[in-house]
Amino acid sequence: MLKKQFWYLGALIVLPLVAEAMPEGVPGKEINFLLGKIGQSNCKFERSGSWYDAATAVDHLKMKLDKAGDRVKTTEDFIQGVASKSYLSGKPYHLACPGQPVMESGVWLNAALKQYRQSH
């Protein structure tokens, strides 16, 4: 019985790690940075005609990343294939950040990635 309990505990610890389809190495670090940047921003995120807070945007992008699986090998794959537009409608996502004009999320993310790469 004790072995069975430890197996369940091990599964609970490992399952969250397996569930995310985050690329390894540099792309994984860069994607985590971008998700964190969105999450820490005070930006609103628009998709499919509705606006969401930053935390909801990050949850949505993580879900899409998980569904994309091994199709996301690079940070650019993430930006272009996951974080820039709706898979269903093909319409671009937008970010509205305080003191800035509304912009497409792909433009915002590419600028953030450029800054990240220059500083690392």
Task: Answer whether 82's CB lies under 8 Å from 68's CB.
Answer: yes
Number of residues in the chain = 120
Residue range 39-63, pLDDT digits in tens? 999 999 999 999 999 999 999 999 9
In whole angstroms, what is the distance from residue 96 CA to residue 51 CA? 9
Task: Tell me, yes or no, if the pTM score tops 0.85.
Answer: no
Q: Which domain holds residue 9?
A: 2-119
As for how many domains the chain has, the answer is 1
For residue 17, is pLDDT > 80? no
